[in-house]
Structure 1
Amino acid sequence: MPELPEVTYYKKYVDATSLHKKIQMVGMSTAEILQAPKKEFEDRLVGTELVQAQRHGKYLFIKTSDDGFLVFHFGMTGKFDFSHEDDPPKHTRFYLTFEDSSKLFFICPRKLGKIYLAQEMEDFLEEHSVGKDALEIDKSEFRELLDKKRGSIKGALTNQSLIAGIGNMYADEILFQTKIHPKTAVSDLSEKELDKIFNKMEEVLETLIESKEKEDGLPDTYLTGNREEGSDCPVCKGKIKMIKVSGRSTYFCPSCQKEK
């Protein structure tokens, strides 16, 4: 599933390809992912321009010249493709045609993405119970958000109403880098451990963003490339294990991440 680093990349992709072009047509192959009637998308978008893209958590908000927003949630498999080709790529669910005949396609094979129209970004985030963005909170806010929370640290990191932007894969990476077991109860974590998680959260997300921008591989000490049951741990050469935590498939190294 696209998480904060991927959506950051999509924001920059839109910035580089699709801003300040007048929308001539709105096309869609399925209404399943639209969170408003097709006609409303057409009425609101045709004749306007995309003027600014902004990410919050896993959502991408694209401001239009009428001061509204086109909002994308990428689901499990959503992504963009910009092209001058007439034929939409396979699994295109929605696209914008601009006056210069270029097109921005939203491709979503599993149809789990969602596209919204919104008037105010803050109202949308509140309505959908989206928490603070993972890269826009400070250490004291992080501590406060987790204060008196029940359940596992893995569940807390992936709770989008608490901290927005971290999904299953990168929560595993953050906890692997801190050597904290994913089932550890938030209430059992010391302030020092919470601070360590916060610092690694920022570091991991920034590293992932940079790796996508530069198309570099991740550091050899990262779990993400070895996230498979029985794979070698990239640090201690133990074996990666998969368990369920908060209903999610969770990968960790039992040797590096001792259970309390």
Structure 2
Amino acid sequence: MNHPSPWFEPNWPKVEGVTALSTCRGDKQSTGNSQAPFEYFNLGLHVGDDPQVVISNRALLPTPNQPFWLEQTHSNIAIDLASYPDINPDADVTQLPKADASFTCQALKVASVMTADCLPVLMAEKRGRAVAAIHCGWRSLASNIIENTLVQLNNQLQSQFGDFQVWLGPCIGPSAFEVGEDVKAAFTALDSRNVKAFAIHQHAAEQGKYLADLQQLACNQLLALGVTDIYRNSDCTYQLSNQYFSYRRDGKTGRMASLIWIE
């Protein structure tokens, strides 16, 4: 999949009044000024890149306002952007709210999450009344961050879980995401159907290792909650080194963002 710019729109049906995009690492011919090992369109201030370069990269995003960034801690915390009217989007990460999902019912507030292997999840209420961005590492998924986000949204909108459509963005794929028995146990305790999202790792250096499918685990949770309009970009961030940052592959690297807002 070749992207002519360092961002692209999710492959889901357009919801009137809602815009979403997800970024790539970019290349020499496209936007972005970060140097190795963060080349080129790094959006993370917390990874060791030159802060002024990162801020200049962020300024190129085609969003109506600066995105609302989070200090992501692999939690199940989801926050309402309306509760944080005065956050400096370019503040040090330790000054940002500790959360792994944000949502809003207000126009022009940009919900965002950063990833470099974890699964970005974007949600839009089908009538365009609310949007959310969720950072799903395995810990967040196992502690029900998707459900926590939907519960808060439904409380505000008096809606149903099935009123939302969901996009699962690029993440580390099922042929690269090696996990231990503890991860498999955490998910199979939640839902026995999750066992099918784990394959025995035939080439692992030690026994008890599995290959996990993050997108399938998220799908299982969404379907169990009654969300059926699910769309995926199945690109593997680990394998597609020219297109995506990957922490597991490179260690010190940049961050991509998935963003959504009501126009």
| TM class by smaller structure | under 0.3
Question: Greater CA radius of gyration, 1 or 2?
Answer: 1
- Give the structure with the higher percent helix: 1
- Ranked by relative contact order (alpha carbons within 8 Å, sequence separation 6 or more), the top structure is 2
The two structures have a TM-score, normalised by structure 1, of 0.28
Taking structure 2 as the reference length, the TM-score comes to 0.27
